[in-house]
Amino acid sequence: MSSQASIGIPVTGISTASGQGFTDDSPKDECGVLGLSTPHGEGVAQLAFFGLFALQHRGQEAAGIAVSDGQRARVHKEAGLVANVFTPDTLAPLTGYHAIGHTRYSTTGSNAERNIQPFLVETMHGPLSVAHNGNLVNATALREELLNRGFGLTATSDTEVFTLMLAAAGGQTWQERIERTLPAWKGAFSLVILAADQVIAVRDPWGFRPLSVGRLPHGGHAVASETCALSTLGCVDIDEVAPGEMVTLRGAELERTQVLAPQANSARCSFEFVYFSRPDSNWDGRSVHHTRQQLGIELAKESPADADVIIPVPDSSIPAAIGFARETGLPFNDGLIKNRYIGRTFIEPTQDIRERGVALKFNALSENLEGQRVVVIDDSLVRGTTAGPLVKLVRDAGATEVHVRITCPPITHACHFGVDMGHDDDLMASQLNVEEIREHIGADSLAFLSLDGMMQAIADRKSGQDDGYCNACFTGEYPLAVGDAQAKLSFEGVLA
């Protein structure tokens, strides 16, 4: 069942099943956002579809697109992958000049249909639709304030908090309402906002989550979480939206305003380079692919291994494995083949299939591993549920030794800014030291990249508190107070 509605019709629906049996140990990002505005209005929903398709890696639970023709707004959103949610039939009614889109992995609120974005409401100022990447650490207080003011909440996502606060804000224009409301929001947010005749994008003053803007080839402009989506749409003049900046897209017009002063110490998420972003994206003036190769080079300098072959855990670790091999002079080869279509499934596996675990997602190439001392390069180790089975898979394929190298430091603390890593006590590195983890996963050796090595690769400088990146998941030193941050499902008690 989908949610397809125009303004004035409640966009609510049934809850959805969660994926079973095929999840991996990687951290999950919350989502990707997209916004675009064209002067001609031809194929705006189709453009949004292809932009979202390029952001699919940022969230696979649900997707949605809202459009406006200058007066009336419509939305279609549904659980599932972008290519399954949108068809020619579902895109056909989404006509207009302006659009925003969202592809979701939940970090605040469950993956129930009521939380699927974009949110769309009718206000005294016309239609308003909002989509969001990030996480508010003060969502509890803001939500309680809305309830005390008599608002009825229909969802358990902090995106609804953004939407209702903007709908009730004073001001003559949406820009004024955003500017008045922004100071109350504490945490990570890259927002795209659809009004009747424009799209507005805004980024938090810490710059946690990425957001970029570009000019469409046939007129108009687009914003997106990653530059790869803008490149897919043929955008030129691509530039990063600055922390604290508001960008207004109105057909051929582009207006940029610094509405909040950037924080003195910006806090870009270093994990975007380690894992989340697509390798063909650029952020902070840096190629993600090149940075990942540098992560592998730094890892090889710090923790080389006496081995015969380097293999990556595909796909995000491939550039790092290339860098590691280049630095050590050891050969790079494929040792694990990934089933890229397993993803999230709504089919309950049999017990026999479930017990095969990681073998559902990876197959080993025994001809490349048999009799070899193997270095396995992976981007991260979170809960430790995948590393052990992967080591066993490589050994069972005939490897005589298995050495594991991780391209970031041990993850010891939860993220409160839009990344689902679980709680501190879920994280293996918060409970065990490196030698205990090595023993647990069954590797012959295990090494993590140091914080200094990671920051040398990401920012060409050693780590420090002023390096412009958030490393709280490695250090526990958060760039702003997170005492009020809530667990992912903390708002589910009433709307269960």
pLDDT per residue of the chain (496 residues) written in tens, 0 to 9:
444 554 432 332 222 233 333 445 665 556 899 999 999 988 999 999 999 999 999 998 999 999 999 999 999 999 999 999 999 999 999 999 999 999 987 544 445 688 999 999 999 999 999 999 999 999 999 999 999 999 999 998 889 999 999 999 999 999 999 999 999 999 999 999 999 999 999 999 999 999 999 999 999 999 999 999 999 999 999 999 999 999 999 999 999 999 999 999 899 999 999 999 999 999 999 999 999 999 999 999 999 999 999 999 998 899 999 999 999 999 999 999 998 776 555 455 566 666 667 878 899 999 999 999 999 999 999 988 889 999 999 999 999 999 999 999 999 999 999 887 777 778 999 999 999 999 999 999 999 999 999 999 999 876 554 579 999 999 999 999 987 655 544 454 555 5
In angstroms, what CA-CA distances link 433 with 356, 425, 439, 474? 28, 14, 10, 13
Is 31 part of the annotated catalytic residue set? yes
CB 130 within 8 A of CB 166: yes
Give kind and range of the element (H or E) at residue 470.
strand 469-470
Sequence-distant (6+) residues with CB within 8 A of 405 are 299, 303, 305, 324, 375, 376, 377, 378, 446, 447, 448, 449
Whole-angstrom Cα distance, residue 273 to residue 370?
A: 32
Q: Could you give the count of Cα atoms lying within 13 Å of 291 in the half-sphere of its Cβ?
A: 29
SS3 83: helix
Sheet strands (E) in 30-118 = 31-37, 62-68, 73-79, 98-104
β-strand partners of 32:
103
Q: Phi and psi at residue 129, in whole multiples of 5°?
A: -130, 140
- C-alpha–C-alpha distance, residues 171 and 168, integer Å: 10
CA-based max dimension of the chain: 72
Residue 256 bridge partners (DSSP): 247
Locate the DSSP E strands across 105-139: 119-123, 126-136
In total, the chain counts a number of residues equal to 496
Give this prediction's pTM: 0.88
Topology given in CATH for the domain delimited by 3-266:
Glutamine Phosphoribosylpyrophosphate, subunit 1, domain 1 (3.60.20)
Q: How many CB atoms lie within 10 A of CB 264?
A: 7
**285: Cβ–Cβ under 8 A, 6 or more apart, which residues?**
240
Q: Which residues lie across from 336 on neighbouring strands?
A: 364
Q: How far apart are CA 31 and CA 107, in angstroms?
A: 9
Taking alpha carbons only, the member of 474, 311, 343 closest to residue 408 is: 474
Q: Judge contact between 397 and 336, C-beta under 8 A.
A: no
Q: Does domain 282-475 have CATH number 3.40.50.2020?
A: yes
Task: Give the residues across from 362 on adjacent strands.
Answer: 338
Q: Do 3-266 and 282-475 fold alike per CATH?
A: no
Query: Quick one: pLDDT at residue 425?
Result: 78
What ranges do the domains of the chain cover?
3-266, 282-475
Residue 446 in contact with residue 434, Cβ under 8 Å? yes
Count of alpha carbons within 13 angstroms of residue 84, beta-carbon side: 13
Q: Which of 102, 76, 97 is nearest to 195 (CA)?
A: 97
The reported pLDDT for the residue numbered 12 is 28
The token pair at 449 is 């990249």
Per-residue confidence (pLDDT) for residue 175, from 0 to 100: 98
Q: What is the pLDDT of residue 351?
A: 64
CB 60, CB 134: distance < 8 Å: no
Which pLDDT does position 193 carry in this prediction? 98
User: What does the DSSP 8-state code read for residue 92?
Assistant: T
CB 223 within 8 A of CB 201: yes
What residues form DSSP beta bridges with 258? 245
* Active-site choice (31, 235, 415, 470): 31
- Rounded to the nearest 10°, the torsion over CA 32, 450, 303, 28 is -20
**For the chain, what is the radius of gyration of the CA atoms?**
23
| H-helix segments, 184-317 | 227-232, 271, 288-302
Chain-centroid distance, C-alpha 432: 27
Phi, then psi, of 93 in degrees rounded to 5 = -75, -10
Angle between helix 158-168 and helix 174-181 axes, rounded to 10 deg: 120
Phi/psi class of residue 451: alpha, beta or left (left: φ > 0; alpha: ψ in -120 to 50)?
Answer: alpha
